[in-house]
Amino acid sequence: MQIAQNSVVAFHYTLTNDAGEVLDSSEGREPLTYLHGGGNIIPGLEKELEGRTAGEKLNVNVSPEEGYGEVQEQLMQEVPRESFQGVESVEPGMQFQAQTEGGPLMVTVKKVEADTVVVDGNHPLAGQQLAFDVEIATVREASEDEIEHGHVHGEGGVEHEDGVEH
């Protein structure tokens, strides 16, 4: 079966950056399982998997525009140190959930000064060219419930809080 809209796909991958550093990998774990066409993985990778079949291996290069986006400077902000009350020590690399007008946003601490902290609301991989080595493990048709919910159920997918696969 070919990967198409509403296919459930399981694949192994290794993700590297331009410098060849491994950023993430499914090695030693279960393959990543997703609903094709459900917006569950980055667009550039999903586009390249379209039409592929189980057992295929491929290398996919994804531009920032089709990955985690370009770096948006307006998401870098200087906030008062007092905004981190209750946090004993704020260090670069720490992540916090900020409440914004647009809703919750994960931010990463970039720099800590005496009275201010510079935080970045961009995805950590924004602005980066990404390289995926992929091996497709399985492809199957999604159930009507999976299509309705927009994600995979069961092994490798989502188990709902009531413990019942919907």
Using a 10 angstrom Cβ sphere, with 0-12 exposed, 13-18 middle and 19 or more buried, the burial of residue 88 is exposed
Six token digits for residue 124: 């950590």
Task: Find out whether 27 and 12 touch, Cβ atoms under 8 Å.
Answer: yes
Provide DSSP, 124-137.
TTTT--EEEEEEEE
pLDDT of residue 166: 39
Q: Which residue has the higher pLDDT, 4 or 83?
A: 4
Letter for the amino acid at 44? Answer: G
| pLDDT tens, position by position, 60-89 | 999 999 999 999 999 999 999 988 888 889
Banded model confidence at residue 157, pLDDT cuts 50, 70, 90: low
Region of poorest pLDDT, from 34-38, 114-118, 136-140, 157-161 = 157-161
Please determine, for residue 3, whether its predicted confidence score (pLDDT) is greater than 60.
yes
Task: Please provide the CATH number assigned to the domain covering 73-120.
Answer: 2.40.10.330
Residue 136: partners with Cβ closer than 8 Å, 6 or more residues away: 3, 9, 10, 11, 49, 52, 53, 54, 55, 56, 57
CATH class of domain segment(s) 7-68+126-149: alpha beta
Q: How confident is the model at residue 139, as a pLDDT? A: 98
Place of tokens 């950056």: 17
- Mean pLDDT over residues 21-33, rounded? 96
Half-sphere exposure of residue 36, counting CA atoms within 13 Å on the CB side?
25
Give dist(CA 95, CA 1) in Å, integer. Answer: 41
Mean pLDDT score, 48-64? 97
The three-class DSSP label of residue 149 is helix
Q: Where are the domains of the chain?
A: 7-68+126-149, 73-120
Contact 105, 97 (CB under 8 A): yes
Predicted confidence (pLDDT) per residue in 129-138, tens digit: 999 999 999 9
Q: Is the pLDDT score of 162 beyond 80?
A: no
